[in-house]
Structure 1
């Protein structure tokens, strides 16, 4: 059953502006108009869910658009999924190291955070990582 843009917005939880943007980017396609409103086939809801999953995983909209055939069916490269999963694994390791460093700093008995060698490594690595445009890399885990 076709959905007008308001019904699709309600069903998907996305504002109509996002739906129009996704249509403009070639991620979804309307099947026509009902009066002044765009109308979409109801299978677009599943496609929007796939788009949301791709965005949560960190894929760009262009990457996501490339994961669909011209007819709208998914054509997802398993190698790209594995590469993204590997990237997420590294990010999890980096964030875990950051979290552990912050927890250590919060509980460290050193008189000043800058007197704590673990916290100093965290600060040093943050500066280096920021300059390189990355998250904080994992580092030796004495005590964490």
Structure 2
């Protein structure tokens, strides 16, 4: 078993995050540190992989709560292995694909009406008399169509 001997500053520099980020992740239960005799935080080397997984997942739009749940499902709350990452990525792929599709619809409709029902545009490519789109729901109902 590897010893927890990495300082918070070393981990922050190596992982490319701020020290406050490590403290935040620890407060959220995503990473774990130990205290030395001087009451300073110390980390095991495996925390670097854990922080990397967190950063990669966040860049994909995965929430910290989803990441925490995924970590909790690992045996003994261990640091994810490559195989674990493959499984996690597969689980998050569908959600990521949905976000990509939504962003593509947003991009394609950005210069026109997205069907919000505001009726404030003088020239709207979508004719919406009497706010008929209100019957389809609130917000950008055309954008939210799949």
TM over 0.5: yes
Are residues 1:87 and 2:90 paired? no
Displacement of 1:129 in angstroms is 5.5
Aligned structure 1 segments of 4 or more residues deviating by more than 6 angstroms: none
Q: Which runs of 5+ in 1 are unaligned?
A: 106-112, 140-144
Query: 1:130 maps to which residue?
Result: 139
Secondary structure class of the residue paired with 2:11:
helix
With 46-55 and 29-38 compared, the bigger mean Cα shift is at 29-38
Contact persistence 2:9–2:19 (CA under 8 A): yes
Structure 1 residues 41 and 136, CA, compared in 2 at 3 Å: closer, same or farther?
same
Displacement of 1:81 in angstroms is 4.6
- The 5 Å alignment of 1:56-75 reads 56-68=59-71, 69=74, 70-74=76-80, 75=84
Are residues 1:38 and 2:8 paired? no
Structure 1 residues 12 and 61, CA, compared in 2 at 3 Å: closer, same or farther?
same
Report the TM-score when normalising by structure 2.
0.63
Name the one with the larger helix percent: 1
Structure 1 residues 117 and 52, CA, compared in 2 at 3 Å: closer, same or farther?
same
Contact persistence 1:5–1:38 (CA under 8 A): yes
Secondary structure class of the residue paired with 2:36:
strand
Report the TM-score when normalising by structure 1.
0.64
Secondary structure class of the residue paired with 2:30:
coil
Give the RMSD, CA atoms, in angstroms.
3.6
> Which of 18, 22, 27 is 2:21 aligned to?
18
Structure 1 residues 20 and 30, CA, compared in 2 at 3 Å: closer, same or farther?
same
- The 5 Å alignment of 1:48-63 reads 48-63=51-66
Partners in 2 of 1:41 and 1:119 — Cα distance?
Answer: 61
Contact persistence 1:30–1:40 (CA under 8 A): yes
